C-alpha cells in the first residue's frame, strides 16, 4: 500500500485535534472543501473510516485514533526539528526567540503593560506577538505560547489558568447622571446592553441580580475592543472585569457603577505544546505570565 500524501495526513491531524473541518481549514489556511477532499482521499487510500459524526464535531474511530497517535507524534517531531533549526539560525544573534499569541483586547489592556518589563529583565529574549482569541484560532505551526479565552481540556497541550473571569457592568461616567443614571441593577435596562456574545452573559448577570428581563439588542460585536470603545463613548453598558478594564477605570474613561460580579463561561489560560515545556525559554515565559497574573492589576 502506498503511503498517503503528507497533505492528507496534515489535514487529518488538524481535524483530529480540533474536531472540526472549518477550524482545521482556518488553521491550515485552505478552504473547508480542500480539507474534506484530503480526508476523502485518505479514507479511500486506507479503506477504513477514520471519523464519525457527533453533532457538529468529528470524533475519531478506533482505527482513526490509532493513526492519530502516529501522525500527531510525527507532526510534533517535524515541528520540533523546524524550531531547533530556527533556533540554531537565530543563535548568531545571541537571542532566543518566542512567538506569543494573545487576544487583541487582552494584549492591549493587560499584556503590553507588562511585556516590556519581561524584555528588560531578559535581554537575551526576542518576542514575536500575534493575535488570536480562541484555541482554534491560534496558528500552532508558529506559536510557542498562547493566551486564549476558552475552556480546557486541549489534548496534547499544557495549560495553566491566568484569570478566572468575573464580570460587572462598566460604562461612561455620563451614564451615572440624569433620571436614568445607573444606581441599582435594574437601571442598566434603561441603556443599550453591549454584547460580544449572543447576550447570554448579560442574561446570566441580570439573573444573578434578580432583575426581570428580556435582553434585546440592536447590535452585536465580535471584537471586545469595540464593545469597550462603545462603552467609553457613552453608547451603552458593557460587562467586563478589572483585568480588561483596569486602565479605563484608573484613568476615569469608564466607571463601575455596580459591584455585583457574575462568573463568565470561559476564562483566560496560558497554553503551550506539552513538549514545549522542556524548552527553558518557553517554560520560563509561562511561569512569568502566571506570576504576573497573580499580582493585582490595579
Which pLDDT band, with edges at 50, 70 and 90, does 278 fall under? confident
User: Within this chain, do residues 173 and 161 fall inside the same structural domain, yes or no?
Assistant: no
Alpha helices in the chain (DSSP H): 6-18, 21-28, 32-46, 62-90, 104-106, 112-121, 200-208, 224-232, 242-251, 280-293
Q: What is the CATH number of the domain that holds 70?
A: 1.10.10.10
Q: Is residue 42 part of a domain?
A: yes
Domain count of the chain? 3
Three-state secondary-structure class, residue 135: helix
Same domain, 242 and 178: yes
User: Is residue 1 domain-resident?
Assistant: no
202 and 247 inside one domain: yes
Question: Residue 231 has what pLDDT?
Answer: 94
The answer to whether residue 175 scores a pLDDT higher than 90 is yes
> Where is the domain boundary, 32, 58, 85?
85
- Residues 193 and 253 reside in one and the same domain: yes
* Residues β-bridged to residue 54: 57
For all residues of the chain together, what is the average pLDDT?
A: 86
Indicate if 254 and 275 belong to the same structural domain.
no
Which of 56, 85, 114 finishes a domain? 85
Taking only the tens place, the pLDDT of each residue in 69-117 is 888 888 877 777 766 665 554 455 557 889 999 988 888 888 988 899 9
> What is the model's pLDDT at position 78?
78
Are residue 276 and residue 142 in the same domain, yes or no? Answer: yes
Residue 49 lies in a domain: yes
The verdict on 148 and 208 lying in the same domain is no
Q: How confident is the model at residue 284 (pLDDT cuts 50, 70, 90)?
A: very high
- Extract the C-alpha cell encoding 100: 506569543
Note the pLDDT of residue 87.
Answer: 56
Q: Mark whether 273 and 157 lie in a shared domain.
A: yes
Percent of the chain with pLDDT strictly greater than 90 = 37
- Lowest mean pLDDT, pick from 53-57, 85-89, 257-261: 85-89
Same domain as 139, residue 255 = no
Q: Are residues 127 and 171 in the same domain?
A: no
Q: Do 266 and 164 touch, CB atoms closer than 8 A?
A: no
Give pLDDT, residue 186: 92
Backbone phi, psi, residue 136, to 5°: -65, -25
**Contact between residue 167 and residue 240 where contact means Cβ atoms under 8 Å apart:** yes
Residue 298 lies in a domain: no
Q: pLDDT-based confidence at 218, cuts 50/70/90?
A: low
SS3 240: strand
Q: Which residue has the higher pLDDT, 274 or 196?
A: 274
- For residue 73, being part of any structural domain is answered with yes
Specify if 90 maps to a domain: no
Q: Is residue 63 part of a domain?
A: yes
Residue 17 lies in a domain: yes
pTM: 0.61
pLDDT, position 163: 84
> Which residues on adjacent β-strands are paired with residue 272?
158
Task: Pick the more confident residue, 79 or 192.
Answer: 192
C-beta neighbour count of 107 within 10 angstroms: 19
Higher-pLDDT residue of 291 and 295 is 291
Residues 177 and 252 in one domain: yes
Percent of the chain past pLDDT 70, that is, above it, reads: 93
| Top mean-pLDDT range of 43-47, 142-146, 194-198, 259-263 | 142-146
| Planar angle of CA 4, 5, 6, nearest 5 degrees | 120
- Structural domain that includes position 50: 6-85
For cell 460585536, name the residue: 221
From 9, 33, 35, select the one nearest 24 (Cα to Cα): 35
3-state SS assignment for residue 259: coil
| Domain CATH number, residue 103 | 3.40.190.10
Q: How many residues does the chain have?
A: 298
Instruction: Identify the domain boundary among 51, 85, 119.
Output: 85
Same domain for 154 and 286, yes or no, is yes
Q: How many CB atoms lie within 10 A of CB 137?
A: 17
Amino acid at each position: 500500500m502506498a503511503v498517503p500524501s503528507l497533505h492528507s495526513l496534515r489535514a487529518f491531524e488538524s481535524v483530529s485535534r480540533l474536531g472540526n473541518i472549518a477550524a482545521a481549514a482556518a488553521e491550515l489556511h485552505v478552504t473547508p472543501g480542500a480539507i474534506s477532499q484530503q480526508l476523502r482521499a485518505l479514507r479511500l487510500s486506507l479503506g477504513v473510516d477514520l471519523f464519525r459524526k457527533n453533532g457538529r464535531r468529528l470524533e475519531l474511530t478506533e482505527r482513526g485514533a490509532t493513526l492519530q497517535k502516529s501522525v500527531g507524534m510525527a507532526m510534533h517531531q517535524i515541528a520540533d526539528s523546524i524550531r531547533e533549526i530556527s533556533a540554531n539560525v537565530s543563535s548568531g544573534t545571541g537571542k532566543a526567540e518566542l512567538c506569543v499569541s494573545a487576544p487583541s483586547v487582552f494584549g492591549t489592556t493587560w499584556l503590553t503593560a507588562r511585556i516590556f518589563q519581561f524584555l528588560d529583565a531578559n535581554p537575551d529574549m526576542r518576542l514575536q506577538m500575534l493575535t488570536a482569541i480562541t484555541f482554534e484560532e491560534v496558528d500552532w505551526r508558529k506559536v510557542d505560547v498562547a493566551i486564549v479565552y476558552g475552556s480546557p481540556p486541549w489534548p496534547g497541550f499544557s495549560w495553566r489558568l491566568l484569570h478566572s473571569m468575573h464580570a460587572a457592568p462598566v460604562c461612561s461616567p455620563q451614564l451615572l447622571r440624569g433620571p436614568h443614571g445607573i444606581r441599582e441593577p435594574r437601571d442598566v435596562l434603561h441603556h443599550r446592553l453591549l454584547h460580544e456574545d449572543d447576550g447570554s452573559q448579560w442574561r446570566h448577570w441580570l439573573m444573578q441580580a434578580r432583575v426581570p428581563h428580556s435582553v434585546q439588542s440592536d447590535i452585536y460585536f465580535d471584537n471586545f475592543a469595540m464593545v469597550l470603545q462603545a462603552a467609553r463613548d457613552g453608547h451603552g453598558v458593557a460587562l467586563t472585569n478589572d483585568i480588561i478594564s483596569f486602565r479605563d477605570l484608573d484613568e476615569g474613561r469608564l466607571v463601575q457603577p455596580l459591584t455585583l460580579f457574575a462568573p463568565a463561561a470561559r476564562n483566560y489560560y496560558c497554553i503551550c505544546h506539552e513538549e514545549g515545556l522542556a524548552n527553558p525559554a518557553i517554560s520560563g515565559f509561562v511561569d512569568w505570565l502566571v506570576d504576573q497574573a497573580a499580582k493585582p492589576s490595579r
